[in-house]
Amino acid sequence: MSLNRLQKIISETGIFSRRKADLLIKQGRVTLNGRQAFLGEKADPASDQILVDGKDLPKKVNDKVFLVNKPRGIISSCQDNHGRKTILNLIPAHLRLGMHPVGRLDFDSRGAILLTNNGDLTLKLTHPRYSHTKTYQVWVSGQPNQSKLDNWRRGILLDGKMTMPARIEILDKVNRKTLLKVILKEGRNRQIRRIATLIGHPVEDLQRTSISNINLDGLQEGKWRELKTKEWISIIN
């Protein structure tokens, strides 16, 4: 008998993310052996009957992870109510089933974003407790002094909560602009842009260059490639 949490079993089908699986259980849409399931409950998919909305749980599909170099003007979600192009539109239609973006890059930002059907990978790359880094190259206006950068490094108050410590390095200074290398272990909504504005040096260009140990490595903007298992498996183990 192999027992796992229900939300893990559901997300491993590749149809639902771990967050979506949590929500399905909370909404009472999951039954285990004929009764309503509850969050945190464990089951064995080989012997227990698990239904979502009254239907058998789909069989697990092969894990897939795609690295995409997102251009500006692309929405980092599976669909958009305003008909704008989404990150899924950058991969062939026959590969999109069950795929979802791992985290987000805002509309005006570009760079590395992952698409996957693996719920564990999504959880461990998006939850701060796993401390996976994301690296950015950021052009800001002006030339921030060391005092401002040190404040950013220590943490900035956003929405009533301090940000986690960040690594900030000056890479270049050109025509009243500064290129920063920023390494974060969290990803709040528009975090870099908001902090840069708070210290008086708004972002002019933002590119994410790596997610944990996964780098763009010359992948052209607007292009994608499927990652080999050995490239991402260490993140979830």
Residues carrying an active site annotation = 106
> What DSSP character marks residue 174?
E
Q: How far apart are CA 111 and CA 114, in angstroms?
A: 10
Dihedral over alpha carbons 200, 134, 109, 166 (to 10 degrees): 0
3-class secondary-structure state, position 112 = strand
Query: b/e string for 84-113 if b means 16 or more Cβ within 10 A?
Result: eebbbebbeeeebebbbbbebbeeebbbbb
Backbone angles phi, psi at 136, to 5 degrees: -130, 150
Q: Is residue 104 left, alpha or beta, with left meaning phi > 0 and alpha meaning psi from -120 to 50?
A: beta
